[in-house]
Amino acid sequence: MRAYYFDNLPGDQRLPHDSNPSRPVTTELLKKLKVETFHIPLTDGYQDKIDAIAKERGYKNRDVINISKDGLGDAYEDKIKMFFDEHLHEDEEIRFLVDGSGYFDIRETPTDSWIRIAMCSGDLLVLPAGIYHRFTLDEGNKVEAMRLFKDEPKWAALNRSPDTDHNVHRVEYLKSIAQVA
């Protein structure tokens, strides 16, 4: 997994969009933003490691989503656009890439800069509730991802707006990174 500042240049969202020169983002900065990263090689026993993380974090359910033209069929283009709209969730978001590769972009606070996190199979990402983010495939155009949930599987995105800026989960997130009193 590699994190760096997004270049904000127009063009295909599936391209790396790495600045020239590159501006890497450290694991320490991600931790300050309450973003956690793990790499779990897809070898024998990887499921046990996922189970341990799920137990530690109170996750009881999971599913696997195939984000590809084959996996999503006619909904593919609409889903890719929807995933790339800036949004937040009221729950922590955990994704483990079983196959393929893609990008999660997160908003750095307080700069509002985009940080791009390049992920491939074996990478696990934990985003806190209330962080603005988006997702896109890379040029490989496919990801098989395990999604973990505390309760019943659900995926409710709240697109960024003045209302979401005041959402209780957004405010709590900002407090957790010492950005509001």
Mean pLDDT of the chain: 94
Average pLDDT over every residue of 159-164:
96
Distances (CA, A) of 181 to 35, 163, 170: 21, 19, 13
Please tell me the predicted confidence (pLDDT) of residue 181: 53
The beta strands (E) that lie in the chain are given as 2-5, 36-39, 61-67, 87-88, 93-107, 114-120, 123-127, 133-137, 143-149, 158-159
Average pLDDT over every residue of 33-59:
95
Q: What is the DSSP-derived secondary structure letter of residue 75?
A: G
Please tell me the predicted confidence (pLDDT) of residue 153: 67
Residue 89, annotated as binding a ligand: yes
> Residues 136-152: pLDDT tens digits?
999 999 999 999 998 77
Express as a percent the part of the chain with pLDDT over 70: 98
Tokens 């590769």, residue located? 101
Q: Which domains does the chain have, with CATH numbers?
A: 2-176 (2.60.120.10)
Residue 87, annotated as binding a ligand: yes
> Residues 78-128: pLDDT tens digits?
999 999 999 999 999 999 999 999 999 999 999 999 999 999 999 999 999
